[in-house]
Amino acid sequence: MTKIKICGLQRVEDIGMVNKNLPDYVGFIFAESKRKIAKEKAKELIDKLDKRIKTVGVFVDERREDVEKTAKYCRLDILQFHGEETAEYCGQFRGRYEIWKAFSVKNRGIEERLLKYKEHTDLCILDAYNKGVRGGSGKVFNWDLIQGMSKKYKIALAGGITYKNILEAVGKVEPYIIDLSSGVETDGVKDGEKIKNVIQKLRRGGKNE
């Protein structure tokens, strides 16, 4: 079954929501973003997190030593790189952490980039391209551009996924993970009802609607 990640947690209330609904992964954003969180606050939240949920730290073009410090301090399970990090840069962390690399999809040339990173990462996140914004834009991209890629690469699908289109996304792309952020928010804040509904819908496969 497709796994689910809720990204951009910032509040104690967010932890309560995910502990109740148990997504497979949660993400904490350490890069410049409206969802940015300080490592001290992230650690405080992670300490309250259900241990069945894996933690993902999101970084954009950070110095290696700063990533290492944050990852160790927060005891992260997974490092997600969302900038212009090279394949070699990503590979430096393998063995100690699971490594995810995010890519903005503009055209079919995306597969060329995925191939370069395949040996250095564990999973690739495919997100909508939005100039000047690194994820969390709420935009959906043309999934036809990546159709069939989940058979060659381990993929997480992000970008404008909500309760309304999650089953279509799974059916068309067949991703390993669905990555949600703005799609489970109301007025920029995580919404417990939306989190519950979208997770239930995915896990039931649309049954009992």
We report the CATH number of the domain holding residue 134 as: 3.20.20.70
User: Which domain does 48 fall in, by range?
Assistant: 3-204
Cα 153 to Cα 26: distance, rounded to the nearest angstrom: 21
26 part of a folded domain:
yes
128 part of a folded domain:
yes
What is the pLDDT averaged over residues 50-64?
A: 97
Average pLDDT, rounded, for the chain? 93
What is the pLDDT averaged over residues 31-51?
A: 96
The half-sphere exposure of 4 on its side-chain side, counting CA atoms within 13 A, is 25
5, 183 Cβ separation under 8 angstroms: no
What is the pLDDT averaged over residues 105-118?
A: 90
152, 126 Cβ separation under 8 angstroms: no
Q: Which pTM does this prediction carry?
A: 0.92
Share of the chain above pLDDT 70, in %: 93
102, 158 Cβ separation under 8 angstroms: yes
Confidence band for 137, pLDDT divided at 50, 70 and 90: low
How high is the pLDDT of residue 200? 96
- Judged against a pLDDT cut of 70, whether residue 135 lies above it is answered with no
How would you classify the pairing of strands 185-186 and 189-190? antiparallel
- Judged against a pLDDT cut of 70, whether residue 42 lies above it is answered with yes
- Judged against a pLDDT cut of 90, whether residue 15 lies above it is answered with yes
209 part of a folded domain:
no
What is the tally of structural domains in the chain?
A: 1
What is the pLDDT averaged over residues 52-71?
A: 97
- Write out the two tokens for 164: 């309304």
170 part of a folded domain:
yes
